[in-house]
Chains A and B, each alone.
Chain A
Amino acid sequence: MIHRRNLLIATAFAALLGIGNSAYAQQDPIRVGVLVGTSGASGQIGNWTNRGVEIAIEELNEAAGFQRFSMFSEDSEYKAQKGLEGFNKLTNVDGIDVLITSGSAVLPTIAPLADQRELVMMNVGAQSPAMAGIGKFTFSVIQLADFDIAVMANYAFDTLDFQRGAALYISNDIGQTNVVEFERQFTQLGGEMVAIESFRASDTNYGPQVAKIAAAQPDFVYLVGDVDVAAAATRQIKALMPNVQILTYGGMESQLFLDAAGAAAEGLLYTQTDFDPSSDDPAIAAVAQRYQTRYGEDFTSPFIGYAYDAMMVVAAALDAAGETGEPLRAAIMDRRDFPGITGDVVFRDDGTVSKSVIIKGVRDGAFVLVDRVGASE
């Protein structure tokens, strides 16, 4: 009892003198929230994001020599309501200082709240064009889909010489936005979309839609869906139209897609950030090594890289700002240009980035670079 009273007196005395305040502040970790979908069909992307942040924090804490950052993660299932619940938990209970998140359905819900709280939010996966200017405190480390789509539409029309296109898309905001944008871009170039069909997220059989598309005899099918859904759709498209070209986007670049689509994946083309996880670049190789050591798996997905880059942007901007909130936001906008393993992160006024985009494809069961034609902004 006496010991406890002495301790209290000593602590109070030290507090009065200001002893230890600065040291404590230095060692009190910055709380980083990660709000992504770790369950549900796109759970793999969410798990990659968590891992990207984890290895970045591990590296930053090692460099600092103390626990500079701590991480708090919530599962949004990439749904607006679950995302809002996760955001409230992270902000009200965990008291996060920065948020790393994704999900085109989640961000519109939480971006205004992040502005109210002056919480810097890094988007590492939502590619809907609606993300541009979505909030003063929201920054996208991943380039938005409209640019990728323009590259793919141009490639289909100019390089592949395709005139007749079809689309099969998941019936949600992302699917609709992407297909409308693709149709706009492709028809502007002089092409024709001869069939556009959708499916529900819960569907597993796309036979009827594929039959309608096949009847229109397109040169290619532009496919938009989650990785696993798109893999099943790819198999069903190829079963009915063995020679049709399938075009899609970078979200497909995962072993999960290759495993699930099997031989049907062969020849698929997609847009991707100009980023090679197996590159000899020392910065990328170091991250790949750290990832392999920690998780016992190869660094394969750019989504790990986006999350890693987002955390590094936050850390670099914090060095200049000294604190989170408005000073951190201002520091990001002042500097704008940050190095990144997925390419330099150069923020525009609306918080989005421009990155080089390339055409990749599946050859002999692996993802390979196909073309760089018209691939950079």
Chain B
Amino acid sequence: MNLFLQLAVNGIYAGSIFALFGLSFALIFATTKVWHFAQGAVYSGSALIVVALATTIGLLPAILAGVVFATLGGLGCQAGIYGPLRRRGASMLVIVMASLGVTIVGENLLSILFGPSQKTLLVDVGGPIIAGGIVISRAQLLAPIIAVAVVGLALFVLYRTDFGRKVQALIGDEELMQLQGIATGPIRMACVAFGSAILPIAAVMLLLSGTGVSPYIGLPVVLIGAMSLFLGGINSMLGAAIGGFLIGFVENVALYFIPSSWQAAFTYSLFLAIILVRPTGLLGRRLIQSSM
């Protein structure tokens, strides 16, 4: 087996999924300006629903159920918590703390509903393809295709449609839109819905390779999403997707040179180095000011 090629295959796979995490986080953050920690609970909840239902109603309906849950979860956070807090003049820090609170409550509720332990998806998707000693699972084949399709769709809508232009305007200057009498709420909610709906799709890509899901795996996903956002460039959807891909790819390929116990330290060090050299991220044009 060629270890480097195998790690590269793993890296493309992980990177494809991380690109979806990055896009999801960036889309919600750019349009709501909320550090959406609760995305973690939405992610793990939707993934657990897929696992729970896949063996009884089939994989595709289970994914659909996961997408519905994630969409409603994201919209619920926005409409039920962030929106009311914002209207009552809460600072961003308060909203962030509320989001963190939702995550913790959500994790515990999921633990009660699904149990605290990791679950795996027991659906047979066929054996791996072995080429030149490199093992490529079905999930590894599927993930880059799904990632390109989802990111491509998001970018097409963003840059080629009227709705997308409104989203860009919302990201750029919401007050100006409101002064022009454009209702920004529905646009924001649509972005939150799409950003949330991506999560179970990413989760399924991971689950199909034997990766487990538990109520407590959400926060690392949020962290990857946030790192992707900063690495790619704040307010750049393409940048966040590329940032996510790079994190996943580098994290895997780096193991060719370093022991796995250094994997996280290496990835974060590289991230820090890039951010120090280019604080705007790879594709970002400007930094946003903290309003906390």
Interface of A toward B, CB cutoff 8 Å? 39-44, 171, 197-200, 202, 204-205, 207-209, 211-212, 214-215, 217, 226-229, 231-232, 235-236, 239-240, 256, 259-262, 264
Chain A neighbourhood of B14, CB < 8 A: 205, 207-208
The 17 sampled A-B contact pairs (Cβ below 8 Å) are: A44-B115, A44-B117, A197-B260, A202-B217, A204-B213, A204-B214, A207-B252, A208-B7, A208-B252, A209-B260, A211-B6, A214-B6, A215-B1, A231-B120, A232-B118, A232-B210, A259-B122
Q: Is B201 an interface residue (CB 8 A)?
A: no
Smallest Cβ distance from A49 to chain B, in angstroms? 14
Taking CB atoms and an 8 Å cut-off, the chain B residues in 191-217 that contact chain A are 206, 209-214, 216-217
| CB-based contact B118/A228 at 8 Å | yes
Chain B neighbourhood of A235, CB < 8 A: 120, 210
Chain B neighbourhood of A197, CB < 8 A: 259-261
Contact of A39 with B116 at beta-carbon distance under 8 Å, contacts A205-B14, A208-B263, A214-B1 already known: yes
Contact of A228 with B117 at beta-carbon distance under 8 Å, contacts A198-B260, A239-B210 already known: yes
Q: Is B21 an interface residue (CB 8 A)?
A: no
Chain B minimum-CB-distance residue to A214 = B1
| CB-based contact B116/A212 at 8 Å | no
Closest 10 A-B residue pairs measured CB to CB? A228-B118, A235-B210, A232-B212, A228-B117, A43-B116, A215-B3, A197-B260, A211-B6, A207-B10, A236-B210
Could you tell me how many residues of chain B have their Cβ less than 8 Å away from some Cβ of chain A?
37
Chain A neighbourhood of B3, CB < 8 A: 211-212, 215
- How far is B213's CA from A202's CA once the two chains are assembled, in angstroms? 10
Task: Give the contacting residue for A205; candidates B7, B116, B206; CB below 8 A.
Answer: B206
Task: Give the contacting residue for B212; candidates A39, A207, A260; CB below 8 A.
Answer: A260
Contact of A40 with B216 at beta-carbon distance under 8 Å, contacts A215-B6, A227-B117, A228-B118 already known: yes
Smallest Cβ distance from B53 to chain A, in angstroms? 15
| CB-based contact B216/A41 at 8 Å | yes
Other 20 A-B pairs with CB < 8 A, given A207-B252, A215-B3: A40-B116, A41-B117, A41-B214, A171-B261, A197-B261, A205-B14, A207-B10, A207-B14, A214-B1, A217-B1, A226-B117, A228-B212, A229-B118, A231-B212, A232-B118, A232-B211, A232-B212, A236-B209, A240-B128, A256-B117
Q: Main SS of chain B's interface residues? A: mixed
Smallest Cβ distance from B257 to chain A, in angstroms? 11
Smallest Cβ distance from A41 to chain B, in angstroms? 5
- How far is B121's CA from A231's CA once the two chains are assembled, in angstroms? 11
| CB-based contact A41/B255 at 8 Å | no
- How far is B6's CA from A226's CA once the two chains are assembled, in angstroms? 27
Q: Is B166 an interface residue (CB 8 A)?
A: no
Q: Main SS of chain A's interface residues? A: helix
Task: Give the contacting residue for B211; candidates A41, A205, A214, A215; CB below 8 A.
Answer: A205
| CB-based contact B261/A204 at 8 Å | no
| CB-based contact B212/A204 at 8 Å | yes
- How far is B117's CA from A231's CA once the two chains are assembled, in angstroms? 11
Q: Is B168 an interface residue (CB 8 A)?
A: no
- How far is B20's CA from A309's CA once the two chains are assembled, in angstroms? 50
Contact of A208 with B10 at beta-carbon distance under 8 Å, contacts A41-B118, A198-B260 already known: yes
Chain A minimum-CB-distance residue to B112 = A39
Chain B neighbourhood of A240, CB < 8 A: 128, 135
Chain B minimum-CB-distance residue to A212 = B255
Chain A neighbourhood of B213, CB < 8 A: 204
Chain B neighbourhood of A214, CB < 8 A: 1, 6, 135
Smallest Cβ distance from A229 to chain B, in angstroms? 6
Task: Give the contacting residue for A209; candidates B1, B210, B255; CB below 8 A.
Answer: B255
Chain B neighbourhood of A171, CB < 8 A: 261
- How far is B212's CA from A199's CA once the two chains are assembled, in angstroms? 14
- Contact mask B13-57 → A, CB, 8 Å, 1/0? 110000000000000000000000000000000000000000000
